Structure 1
Amino acid sequence: MAALNCVWDIFEKYGYSRLSADKRVEIYNNCNEIGSLFYRQKSNEDIDLVIAGSRGEGIGLHFDCDIDRLFIQRSAMGFHSYPVTSDRKRFDAEFELDFDHAPSGYCRLRLMSIQEKIDPDSRNASFLQNIENSLNEQNGHKYLRNDRMLTSAMSHLKQEGWLERSFVYDVAKGPAQPYECKLPYTKFSLNFDDVLALQCSYPSIVNEWCDRRRHHGWPSSDVIEEVRRLDVLAVPVGETEDDVMQWRISLVLGELALVRSFNDTQLKVYGALKMLAKAVLKKSSENLSSYVMKNVIFWISESTDIHNFERNQFLHRVIDGLKYLCKCVYDRNLPNYMIPGRNLLIHKISENERVKVLQDLDNFLSDGESVLLQCSEIKHLLGQDAQIRSRMIDKNENAEQAIISLFSLPPLKGLEMMLQLFIIKTGEDLINFYRKNIFPIIRETNPFEFFDDFSSKTDEEILEFVERPESTLTSSTEENVSK
């Protein structure tokens, strides 16, 4: 029981608690508002920014996960069945979802209409022109390619300030444009995955998920109805050898709502499965990702009485998840929770990888309730005195809070700060910008009641993760920052 309590407390400190996750969800929802204002102004497009993935779920912290950003372009719409009525809302670009010769959960976007005579200075003009330049004609129809930069909101070409000059771009992976932003004078980096998304009218795919029979109390009827109201999206799959016109149907907004509905134990089981995947399974197969584990926790949550997700059942539910994953790998089929016809393992694990993964999972299950000791990070923390353990986690938490403080400001104030942030010339100026302009507001208002420690800590204590000697980070740069 003592070991269980220690592991539970570690996950609690790592942010896998309902209370902590709820506060982070509020912050990233606020960040969505700030980001949407910023990118609409930057690109002159009808863009909505949504932080997805672990960050948007409220459990991404300590720089251990990417920041997944969806750029939803609202001037375009894809229709499952293209409407012919004249009294409906019109969009600047309209597509029909073409499912011919596409796997379950995928489609092509067949152009049905696009605004003519585009004024180059009008809103969304660049986006619409990019669409025009990204169409391929097949069998008398025009289809939208998935391998082109369609929105200028995702481009970083001006590089006017230190921040954009510090971006290091990686090769595109699937639909995402990945890049890294190294934080000045620290060991930390922020890693971004940016994805364009187009909204779709596809009620049948949502209704099919919402209306299927469930017997164990999760998700609740309220959450199901919330998912029914959320947007369906189409995202590019990245260039493939077969077809550069293929797009993937995404219910990522529904997935966000589901994770946000998790109770405390579900969150910790999810965290444990992600840690095991990162520490062990990904060494055997790179494609056993956090997203795979998210679908595992979804399936075992639906098939287990919700009352069995309690603290004293935490490790039992972790083992349930590993058993379910083992069955899926053995069967070579893990159904996507939102679109079960889509197999998340198809073409993802070679036979050699499959043998290794099954051996890993067999080792996990042989370990029983000590399985989490397979995570070196958990094992290391358990070997520390409780006070040292808390201090080790708190240091990373300080860094995290310092960075996300900007995104906790009121949206219009946050926009003002973002616009200034992107013209700052040096990393030193960036740090002093936070000290002068952001930390005072956080201390005074403690937004979302998340920054309790700010009032009792000096700037130097908050910025202890900055490796450059404090004497070089003087207020002498503040005059340059304020100009």
Structure 2
Amino acid sequence: MLKKELYAVRYILSYSSVQMADGGVIRDVPGGIPRQGNVSCSPTVFQFEQLSAETCILMNVLGYGPHIRQARIDAYKAWDRHMTARAGGGATWITTGSKAEGLTNYQESDLDSMSVTNHAICLEEGVDSSIVPGEKNIFRSCSRISYHGHCRLLLERYGTVIPTMVYNALCDDGYGSGLLSSDLYVNQLLNARHESCVGHERAGPSAPVTINGFEHQDRVGALHFYCPSILTRWAARHRNWPTSDVVQEVVSLGAFVSPVGVKGSDYEPVEWRMCFNTGENVLVNNLHDTQVKLYVLLKMVKNDVLKPCKKEVTSFIVKNIVLWIAENNPQSLFNERSLFHWLHEGLYALRVAIDTKELPYYMIPERNLMAACALEHEQKLSWIATIDEMMTEGPRLILRLPKIRQAIIAHPEPLRWYSERKIELEMLQLICMNRLTLGMDFETDVIMQALLRRRFEILMEVGMRMIMEGSRVNDLWDVWISMLM
């Protein structure tokens, strides 16, 4: 089956260089996010339907299908439960980013995790603090002089247990009241890293570490944030997606504040950013399969074509574009045959965001995600020109993406053979990760021993085939690392 699809992809790409049609798209939504009009008004809207469907099949083989994504999501949810249990009730661990979304291999990107203290809570202005149990420390958000989506945290009440990180991050607001400093909070996390970890410089709210020499993690300390009015406004929006059940689930998961302020703000060292990590995980996990693949392709464009050096465009920006597209358009328009149409629309929205330096945050639209990006004029013009070229190339634009291009030019059978073993090796590693978190030992745990045996078999099989095809393989460790990328 894959052989037929790959040959069809190659054939169509060798002839297609037609600009993709707008076909009834209405762009009256802030930030240039497309809202589909009457599809039937243009017969060429989904002119590359066959290639879209075949590209979806190819992306499934590469590890972006729904089953492998769900397996990754379940594995990291289990890891969160184990880490939370190890914290003894003091903190809740939450995996965020691409790992929680099931969209990257084990070593393909950093593991983003958030440790949320359970002994403190931040309340939105106007919320009655008597609803909070007496043992918790209460902070009141003050956002009147902060940029949208940010706030300062004023101490309102001490609890029976004051976490050391919270106590050491308190400072005076100049009026005799306690103020929680985001800078001091992150600095403590930087200084508290274990001896087995190699620490790196602060990155926004996170304290990056490298474990065992090859596992990279971005760790963020955060607080629970009770903000019913913000979530109510979000839930009340008119939308095509998500369903009301998913909306209520997102609302029930609440919010957090992470220790990072607005760059250049007078209050940056004491500002905190409102975030909705668990709710956003639910939203991404409820996207249509075509929307997920759109998200993956746009991230590839960001990483492999634009190649930002200073996070001028981030995966978070790309995710928000996809969430807006999903909300603004009927879900019936998303299917495996419309992928390239929506990729064109996603590129257009990205172009507008870069050109205008405006993109509303999906959860708090008043916050502009492009406001603080360090995008220079020449770079902006270059990226706009590149995106314009891609939008005129039609489906051929995917040849700019190395991972897709290599799969297209590969022979189908070796590709499928290797992908199956790559995915199995990743699943073994995720099981191993959770067994280690539970405290299991390689030498005594029979499941770990079985995992190691099967891992060795896969690596030997791949290594021998590489040698037969002319590669020089001296170390199975190198094969293991490359297969998990």
Q: Give the TM interval when normalised to the shorter protein.
A: 0.7 to 0.9
- For the pair 1:74 / 2:112, whether they are aligned, the reply is no
SS of 1:312's equivalent? coil
| Cα distance in 2 between the residues matched to 1:470 and 1:293 | 36
| Cα distance in 2 between the residues matched to 1:153 and 1:364 | 42
Query: Is residue 127–residue 150 contact of structure 1 (8 Å, CA) maintained in 2?
Result: no
| Cα distance in 2 between the residues matched to 1:262 and 1:239 | 30
Q: Displacement, 1:24?
A: 1.8
Q: For 1:63, which of 100, 107, 119 is the aligned residue?
A: 107
| Cα distance in 2 between the residues matched to 1:352 and 1:27 | 43
After TM superposition, the structure 1 = structure 2 runs for residues 57-456 of structure 1, keeping only pairs within 5 Å, are 57-81=101-125, 86=130, 88-115=132-159, 125-131=163-169, 134-149=170-185, 157-159=193-195, 164=196, 167-182=197-212, 189-214=214-239, 216=240, 218-237=241-260, 242=266, 243-283=268-308, 286-348=311-373, 349-394=375-420, 396-409=422-435, 414-417=437-440, 433=442, 437-440=446-449
| Cα distance in 2 between the residues matched to 1:94 and 1:193 | 27
SS of 2:439's equivalent? helix
| Cα distance in 2 between the residues matched to 1:47 and 1:168 | 23
| Cα distance in 2 between the residues matched to 1:441 and 1:135 | 53
| Cα distance in 2 between the residues matched to 1:254 and 1:303 | 19
| Cα distance in 1 between the residues matched to 2:128 and 2:327 | 39
Q: For 2:79, which of 13, 18, 31 is the aligned residue?
A: 31
| AA in 1 matched with 2:255 | V
Greater relative CO, 1 or 2 (CA 8 Å, sep 6+): 2
Query: Is residue 96–residue 114 contact of structure 2 (8 Å, CA) maintained in 1?
Result: yes
| AA in 2 matched with 1:223 | V
| AA in 2 matched with 1:17 | G
SS of 1:388's equivalent? helix
Query: Is residue 173–residue 238 contact of structure 1 (8 Å, CA) maintained in 2?
Result: no
| Cα distance in 1 between the residues matched to 2:385 and 2:309 | 10
Q: Displacement, 1:154?
A: 7.4
Distance 1:140 1:82, change over 3 A: farther
| Cα distance in 2 between the residues matched to 1:337 and 1:239 | 18
Higher deviation after alignment, 380-389 or 232-241: 232-241
Count of residues paired in the alignment: 416
| AA in 2 matched with 1:61 | N
Query: Is residue 435–residue 459 contact of structure 1 (8 Å, CA) maintained in 2?
Result: no
Q: Displacement, 1:350?
A: 2.3
| AA in 2 matched with 1:219 | P
In the other structure, the counterpart of 1:186 is none
Q: Displacement, 1:139?
A: 3.1
Query: Is residue 199–residue 208 contact of structure 2 (8 Å, CA) maintained in 1?
Result: yes
| Cα distance in 2 between the residues matched to 1:371 and 1:322 | 11
Distance 1:356 1:96, change over 3 A: same
Distance 1:385 1:201, change over 3 A: same
| Cα distance in 2 between the residues matched to 1:91 and 1:60 | 39
SS of 2:82's equivalent? helix
Q: Displacement, 1:386?
A: 0.9
Distance 1:230 1:289, change over 3 A: same
Query: Is residue 32–residue 49 contact of structure 1 (8 Å, CA) maintained in 2?
Result: yes
| AA in 2 matched with 1:141 | S
| AA in 2 matched with 1:256 | N
Distance 1:285 1:46, change over 3 A: closer
| Cα distance in 2 between the residues matched to 1:328 and 1:271 | 18
| Cα distance in 2 between the residues matched to 1:176 and 1:320 | 32
Identity %: 24
SS of 2:182's equivalent? coil
| AA in 2 matched with 1:257 | V
Q: Displacement, 1:271?
A: 0.8
Q: Displacement, 1:12?
A: 0.7
| AA in 2 matched with 1:130 | N
**Could you list the per-position Cα deviations for residues 396-446 of structure 1 after superposition, in whole angstroms to 9, with x for gaps in the alignment?**
43542332113455xxx84233xx6xxxxxxxxxxxx2895543576xxxx
Q: Displacement, 1:136?
A: 3.4
SS of 2:184's equivalent? coil
Q: Displacement, 1:259?
A: 0.4
Q: Displacement, 1:380?
A: 1.7
| AA in 1 matched with 2:317 | V
Query: Is residue 273–residue 321 contact of structure 1 (8 Å, CA) maintained in 2?
Result: yes
| Cα distance in 2 between the residues matched to 1:85 and 1:30 | 33
Query: Is residue 140–residue 154 contact of structure 2 (8 Å, CA) maintained in 1?
Result: yes
| Cα distance in 2 between the residues matched to 1:85 and 1:244 | 26
Q: TM-score with structure 2 length normalisation?
A: 0.78
| Cα distance in 1 between the residues matched to 2:75 and 2:281 | 14
In the other structure, the counterpart of 1:14 is 62
Distance 1:8 1:89, change over 3 A: same
| Cα distance in 1 between the residues matched to 2:248 and 2:182 | 31
Distance 1:125 1:303, change over 3 A: closer
- For the pair 1:458 / 2:454, whether they are aligned, the reply is yes
- Structure 1 residue runs of 5 or longer lacking an equivalent are 119-123, 184-188, 421-432, 443-453, 472-483
| Cα distance in 2 between the residues matched to 1:292 and 1:125 | 33
| Cα distance in 2 between the residues matched to 1:141 and 1:18 | 50
Distance 1:437 1:302, change over 3 A: same
**Could you list the per-position Cα deviations for residues 368-409 of structure 1 after superposition, in whole angstroms to 9, with x for gaps in the alignment?**
122111112211221110122234434543542332113455
SS of 1:138's equivalent? coil
Query: Is residue 209–residue 216 contact of structure 2 (8 Å, CA) maintained in 1?
Result: yes
